[in-house]
């Protein structure tokens, strides 16, 4: 993918040494469970403070859109909060909305001149998006973005929390020489 390396790992996204981590937030931006809770717990109150300011300005974050805050106490400099779609069976625009999550997150990363970014498996927890379908959307959306933009990104890491997602992503991504 040009000069950008796509990687897959299994682990906790809050621990990653990357410039930006993506949060699977909800539209309130006020925190929640899953990866959202983990990021706010590990990153500390500065992240929520900024989320509240964004909320005051724009009233939350619509599904498929993204906003950026500090990384607080995380190793990452930024958290990019994006709101994945809730799975309603697949005929409610879920695929396009999930694609937008990846695209808009990468666009914000480029605006911030980020060199490395890590994504969780957006929407595959509480929001119920089938993991195989979500993995396909994620990889395709990122590859399309990289093909169509002159990006400064050197690394895009897909962080899988569970073994099932890890296997799905490993099947989709060719092994790259390190």
Name residues contacting ligand ADP, limited to 99-158 (CB under 6 A): 120-127
The answer to whether the Cα torsion of 129, 132, 138, 144 is positive or negative is negative
Stretch that binds ligand ADP, among 8-16, 72-80, 108-116, 145-153 (CB under 6 A): 8-16
- Residue matched to tokens 């970014």: 117
The residue count for binding ligand ADP (CB under 6 A) is: 21
Say whether 132 is catalytic.
no
Short-list 60, 142, 70, CA closest to 105: 142
Stretch that binds ligand ADP, among 34-42, 60-68, 136-144, 145-153 (CB under 6 A): 34-42
Q: Which residues contact 122 (CB under 8 A, 6 or more apart)?
A: 22, 24, 82, 84, 98, 101, 102, 129, 134, 138
Question: Cβ of residue 111: shortest distance to ligand ADP, in angstroms?
Answer: 23
- Residue matched to tokens 């808009």: 104
- Residues of this chain that interact with ligand ADP (CB under 6 A) are 12-14, 24, 34-36, 38, 84, 120-127, 159, 161-162, 165
**Would you name the residues annotated as active-site residues?**
36
């Amino acid at each position: 993918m040009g000069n950008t390396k796509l990687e897959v790992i299994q682990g906790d996204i809050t621990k990653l040494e990357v410039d930006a981590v993506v949060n699977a937030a909800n539209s309130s931006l006020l925190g929640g469970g899953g990866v959202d809770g983990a990021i706010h717990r590990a990153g500390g109150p500065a992240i929520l403070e900024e989320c509240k300011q964004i909320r005051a300005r724009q009233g939350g974050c619509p599904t498929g859109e993204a906003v950026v805050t500090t990384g607080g106490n995380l190793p990452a400099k930024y958290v990019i909060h994006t709101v994945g779609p809730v799975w309603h069976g697949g005929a409610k625009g879920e695929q396009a909305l999930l694609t937008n999550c990846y695209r808009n997150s990468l666009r914000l990363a480029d605006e911030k001149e980020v060199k490395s970014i890590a994504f969780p498996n957006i929407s595959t927890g509480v929001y119920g998006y089938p993991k195989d379908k979500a993995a396909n959307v994620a990889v395709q959306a990122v590859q399309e973005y990289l093909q169509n933009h002159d990006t400064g990104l050197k690394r895009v890491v897909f962080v899988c929390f569970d073994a099932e997602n890890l296997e799905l992503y490993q099947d989709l991504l060719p092994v790259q020489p390190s």
